[in-house]
Amino acid sequence: MSNMKKKKMTPVQQEYDKLVSSIEPKRPILANCIRAFIVGGTICTIGQSLQWLFMNYFNFDEKTSVAPTLVVLIFSAALFTGLGVFDHLSQWAGCGTAIPITGFANSIASASIEHKSEGFVLGVAGNMFSLAGAVVVYGTFAAFIVATIKLIITRLGAM
C-alpha cells in the first residue's frame, strides 16, 4: 500500500493492515509464472502441432490450416470446460490457460453452463456472450479502427 494511503488511515486501520499483512500467505510468484509458461506454451505447441497436422496430412496450405486449427482448439476448450477439466487446469496454471482462443472459448462455455437452468434460449443462448461480449465488441471495434488506418495509409501511399 502506498504511503499516502497509510497516512490517511487511522491508527486502528494501520494496526489492522499490519495484522493482515503478517497473516496473509506469501504468493509463490515465480512458481506461478513457471506453471503459466508451461501450460500456455503447451497449448500453443498443441495449436502449432494441429496446424502442422492439417498442412501435412489434410493438404491445407499455411493460410487455410488456421481455421480448422482454431475450430479444434475452441471445441476442445469448450468440451474440457463442460467436463470440468479446464477449471482444474486454470486453478493450477493461472493465466497460462488464458491463451486468447482457449480462454475465450472457456468464458463462453462457462457462462452458458452457469445459466443452463434458465433454459436453452433465455439461459444458455442469452447469457453465452455475457462475459465475452465485451471482447467481441471491442475486438470488432479495434479491427475496424486498424482496417481504417490501413486503408488511409494505403491510399496515401498510392498517391
Domain-by-domain residue ranges, the chain? 27-128, 132-159
Taking only the tens place, the pLDDT of each residue in 61-104 is 999 999 999 999 999 999 999 899 999 999 999 888 988 789 88
Helix axes 66-83, 100-114, angle to 10 degrees: 40
What is the distance between the alpha carbons of residues 88 and 44, in angstroms, rounded to a whole number?
19
Spatial neighbors of 35 by CB under 8 A, at least 6 apart, are 92, 93, 94, 96
Nearest 10 degrees: Cα torsion 3, 5, 10, 13: -100
Q: Does pLDDT of 43 surpass 90?
A: yes
Q: Which set of grid coordinates corresponds to residue 37?
A: 509458461
Q: ∠ at Cα 47 (81, 55), nearest 5°?
A: 135
Taking only the tens place, the pLDDT of each residue in 53-62 is 999 999 999 9
Contact 107, 131 (CB under 8 A): yes
